[in-house]
Amino acid sequence: MKYEDAVAKYDPALGIEVHVELGTATKMFDDAPNTFGGGANENTTPTSLGLPGALPVVNRTAIEYAIRIGLALGCEIAESCRFARKNYFYPDLAKNFQTSQADEPIAYDGSIDVELEDGTIVPVAIERAHMEEDAGKNTHVGGASGRIHGADHSLVDYNRAGVPLVEIVTHPITGVGDRAPEVAAAYVRTLRDIFRAIGVSEARMEQGNVRADINVSLRADADAPLGTRTETKNVNSFRSIDRTVRYEIARQAEILDAGGSILQETRHFHETDGSTSSGRPKSDADDYRYFPEPDLVPVAPSRDWVEEIRAGLPELPAARRRRLLDEWGISELEMRDIINADLLDPVEATVVAGAKPDAARKWWMGEIARVAKQKDVEATELATPEHVAELQKLIDDGKLNDKLARKVLAGVVEGRGTPAQVMEADGLQIVEDTGALEAAVDEAIAANPDVVEKIKGGKMQAIGALMGPIMKATRGQADAGTAREMILERINS
């Protein structure tokens, strides 16, 4: 069934579980480094390998980050909570149990406002945020698809085993109708922005720092009880989240329409065609034999500590965005682009350093981003906000034009000093010596009689053909406006 028909006929409900890997220096329960990459099984200790006798110890920073997340999501913070063991056998799970929080999450009962692109605000109720450890990573070798079926053997890398995670679980999100896909993606994006703002994770979707499990169910109308749900696992881009919801709504509607019923199961999302496929049946009766982890003592964050963490939280993304939109007068779309490029911090700092918002945005999103991409580095490694503000001031003062400014920037990027220093050193300041410019203009006119004829004939755009030689002769330091005036003056006189 087409998506549009499906949402016209059925009322979708969403439930989203987001896992975020915390950016702590070490793992959740041991002192192995928590870093992405590295040789296989290098970032491990006896504890993250689950060796006999090894014991876990809770990472205090991970607790602090989990509390930050809880507070940023408006949650209550538990006075005392215990870890539990979730028992199941799987090779990527070194102990064959995952240390998690079952019925005692560190944070619960929160809510956040999710803003859609048109400015609509959708409140999402948060059931809980709990801590757990990540599993290792299996690689299936020898099969066609990289999946376990058909594989010849499998390799396990425990570098990720024991990486601290916080899982955030929503209450059912209802009443969003045909905007369900957009809401799902915007919700995860909102979380991603919060994680970054409060400094708990780099939250890089492409590295799997943030992963979402998307539950979708349909019901006849808003008064009916919730339908049977499916859970699509590990969807890790905003676009994929949108597509997952869209696909599941259409798929489920078709089954329901044909009189069928939805099988409660986990599903996999396929990037190639936007479809989902059946994983394994999942029932609420999955028996993980949870029991309190006897190797750990309860986590009991003092109220003083919680308040200290609350007081230290930075301005959250939504509030900051509203403030800056207001202050800068740029469009929602422009703001979104800046945020997506992860450049809000340097742009804001550049404005603080004296540049106009438009100019600050233009530099970071334009030339600096381009060079960063070319060099495959972070934009913020290339220049400081102070440099950019200074560069813009040189333009505003008429000392540089855009082209010269880019040359100056290149010097700054090379680490050759501040924009003013580079400009001085390279003699890039705009030529105000009209004698040199006049000579260049005369030379260009004399060398290009055919172009001059065209201009005389009214083809003003042909002036461009003279600008090249003029700029070349002046090493780019000519002011284009002045040169153009001179050309016209000479041709028309």
CB of 147 to another protein, least distance (A): 14
CB of 161 to another protein, least distance (A): 11
CB of 201 to another protein, least distance (A): 25
Non-local CB neighbours of 281 within 8 Å, separated by 6+ positions: 263, 264, 265
250's enclosing H/E stretch is: helix 238-257
Pairing between strand 230-235 and 265-270? parallel
Residue 342 Cα distances to 306, 349, 356, 465, angstroms:
29, 13, 19, 39
Residues in a beta bridge with 318: none
Nearer to another protein (CB atom), residue 221 or residue 287: 287
Pairing between strand 97-100 and 84-87? antiparallel
Helices (H) and strands (E) in the chain, counts: 17, 14
Nearer to another protein (CB atom), residue 54 or residue 369: 54
CB of 49 to another protein, least distance (A): 7
Nearer to another protein (CB atom), residue 49 or residue 473: 49
The alpha-helical segments, DSSP class H, found in 115-215 are: 180-197
CB of 294 to another protein, least distance (A): 4
Residue 328: how many CB atoms within 10 A of its CB?
A: 19
CB of 100 to another protein, least distance (A): 13
14's enclosing H/E stretch is: strand 11-21
CB of 155 to another protein, least distance (A): 11
Rounded distance between C-alpha atoms, residue 406 and residue 195, angstroms: 34
CB of 93 to another protein, least distance (A): 9
Nearer to another protein (CB atom), residue 89 or residue 435: 89
Q: Token digits for 42?
A: 């290098």
CB of 259 to another protein, least distance (A): 32
Rounded distance between C-alpha atoms, residue 368 and residue 378, angstroms: 9
CB 93 within 8 A of CB 134: no
Nearer to another protein (CB atom), residue 5 or residue 295: 295
Nearer to another protein (CB atom), residue 100 or residue 201: 100
Residues in a beta bridge with 7: none
Nearer to another protein (CB atom), residue 59 or residue 244: 59
CB 478 within 8 A of CB 431: yes
Nearer to another protein (CB atom), residue 152 or residue 223: 152
Non-local CB neighbours of 442 within 8 Å, separated by 6+ positions: 490
Contacts 24+ apart (CB under 8 A), 334-338: 334/361, 336/117, 337/365, 338/364, 338/365
Nearer to another protein (CB atom), residue 264 or residue 482: 264
CB of 50 to another protein, least distance (A): 5
For residue 119, how far is the Cα from the chain centroid? Answer: 20
CB of 52 to another protein, least distance (A): 4
> What letter would DSSP give residue 179?
G
Q: Token digits for 397?
A: 């003062």
Residues in contact with another protein by the rule CB under 8 A: 46, 49-58, 85, 87, 89-91, 94-97, 154, 156, 285, 287, 289-291, 294-297
Query: Rounded to 5 degrees, what angle do the CA atoms 418, 421, 422 make?
Result: 85
CB of 282 to another protein, least distance (A): 14
* 369 class by beta-carbon count within 10 Å (0-12 exposed, 13-18 middle, 19+ buried): middle
Rounded distance between C-alpha atoms, residue 127 and residue 305, angstroms: 23
Nearer to another protein (CB atom), residue 206 or residue 287: 287
Nearer to another protein (CB atom), residue 85 or residue 399: 85
For residue 149, how far is the Cα from the chain centroid? Answer: 33
CA 330, 313, 102, 164 dihedral sign is: positive
Nearer to another protein (CB atom), residue 106 or residue 412: 106
Q: Token digits for 151?
A: 């594989």
